[in-house]
Amino acid sequence: MNARTDFLSAYAVLKDNLLTPCTQTISIAAFMDNSPVLGPLPPGVYCFPAAVAFTRTTLTLDGSTNPNGIWIFKVAAALAGTGFQVVMANGGQACNVFWAVDAAAALTTSTPPLFQGNLFAGDPINGSITVTGGALVGRALANVAVTMTNTNVNGVCALMDQAKAGCKNDDDDRDKDHHHRKDRDDHDKDKDHRDKDKDHQDKDHKD
């Protein structure tokens, strides 16, 4: 239940035009002639005002201006891709790519292109994802259903998130242990000094 709530919350943020305003609106007509190349695109928010179909298109996302930058693609209806691949260039990271689709998403290919990024289909009625063939580097999250057939999936984004969280927790634990040990050592040293001072006082008093 928490995972579904988090998914819907993330989808709402991606779709919110106030939180994620469009950097550029991309014309659908650009893909009606089987446009082979799109980009390179720097990090930003890219909006498609209607359904879009990529046919044998290569989308290049360029991280040269900011390797840690984020790409958000908002599709106002359905997303379809045949032979569609996403290429990360100059340090761009697939985990920082997000596709927010208002209807269904269908990726189909007879060759092995690579779709990279996190695919969100959050519509309560048409929010489904279908991937046939090819490969996915990222995550596919849908409100209705996710169907994959003969697709190679690398959930590196989820693994990286967990690894980062694990490393952070491990570091925090090590820091806490270090501070606790240091506090105990300082306490023991203070106690030793107090005991020595008391011994000297007792000796002086006897003399």
| pLDDT for 37 | 81
Q: For residue 164, what are the CA distances in angstroms to 31, 157, 170?
A: 38, 10, 10
Check whether residue 67 and residue 48 sit in a common domain. yes
Q: Which residue has the tokens 């092995």?
A: 112
Q: How confident is the model at residue 190 (pLDDT cuts 50, 70, 90)?
A: low
> For residue 182, what pLDDT is reported?
45
Please report the sign of the dihedral spanned by the C-alpha atoms of residue 178, residue 184, residue 186, residue 189: negative
11: Cα within 13 Å, side-chain hemisphere:
23
Phi-psi region of 117 (alpha: psi -120 to 50; beta: other; left: phi over 0): left
pLDDT tens string 65-88: 999 999 999 999 999 998 889 999
Residues 44 and 131 in one domain: yes
Q: Do 186 and 135 fall within a single domain?
A: no
CA–CA gap between residue 123 and residue 131 (Å, rounded): 17
- Long-range contacts for 198-203 (Cβ within 8 Å, ≥24 apart)? none
Q: Count structural domains, the chain.
A: 2
Task: Confirm if 118 and 136 have CB atoms less than 8 A apart.
Answer: no
Query: Confidence class of residue 112 from pLDDT cuts 50, 70 and 90?
Result: low
Q: What is the pTM of this model?
A: 0.74
Distance CA 92, CA 61 (A): 7
- 38-42, 87-91, 167-171, 178-182: least confident range: 167-171
pLDDT level of residue 178 (50, 70, 90 thresholds): very low
- Tell me if residue 102 falls in helix, strand or coil: coil
The residue whose two tokens read 């990529």 is 54
Same domain (yes/no): 29, 113: yes
Tens digits of residue pLDDT in 2-36: 888 899 999 999 999 899 999 999 876 655 555 67
- Domain closes at, from 135, 154, 173: 154
Considering the domain architecture, whether residues 194 and 103 belong to the same structural domain is answered as no
- Give yes or no: residues 141 and 179 share one domain: no
Residue 93 belongs to domain spanning? 2-154
Last residue of a domain, one of 116, 131, 154: 154
Of residues 101 and 201, more confidence is placed in: 101
* Whether residues 146 and 57 fall in one domain: yes
Is 192 found in the same domain as 96?
A: no
**Are 6 and 65 contained in the same domain?**
yes
**Average pLDDT value over all residues in the chain:** 79
| Residues 91 and 174 placed together within one structural domain of the fold | no
31-59 average pLDDT score: 84
Does 30 share its domain with 63?
Answer: yes
- Give yes or no: residues 149 and 186 share one domain: no
**pLDDT class of 114 with cuts at 50, 70, 90:** confident
